[in-house]
Amino acid sequence: MWQEIVVGIIVAVAALHAGRKYLPAAWRQQVVYALSRRGLSQDKLARFFNTESSCGSGCGSCGGCGDSPAPPAPPSDGGPARRVIMLNVQR
């Protein structure tokens, strides 16, 4: 009987670790949101699953749907916007 309990705990911890490490960020955010609705601490869950707190709840505090920062200004020297690496081919 104790063997089944220990094996069940090991399997649960392994599944939790795999979910924490390999799930896509959007799924991890949904897990944090679903567990926080059940009464668990959202800040602790967000830290554990490496997500931002409050994402997925629609409250807007995660900055996901707020104003996006302005794109960086192009270089003012009039040159190309991309850097070019010159290669010297020796034959």
Alpha-carbon distance of 34 to 31, in angstroms, equals 5
Mean pLDDT of all residues in 22-36? 88
Mean pLDDT across the chain: 77
Q: Is the model's pLDDT at 38 over the cut of 50?
A: yes
With CA atoms as reference, report the closest residue to 16 among 39, 48, 46: 48
The per-residue DSSP string of 30-58 comes to HHHHHHHHTT--HHHHHHHTT--TTTTSS
Alpha-carbon distance of 70 to 73, in angstroms, equals 8
Alpha-carbon distance of 75 to 48, in angstroms, equals 41
8 Å CB contact between 54 and 42: yes
Q: Is the model's pLDDT at 2 over the cut of 50?
A: yes
Parse the chain into domains and list their residue ranges. Answer: 2-48
State pLDDT tens for residues 47-77: 888 887 554 455 555 555 555 566 666 556 6
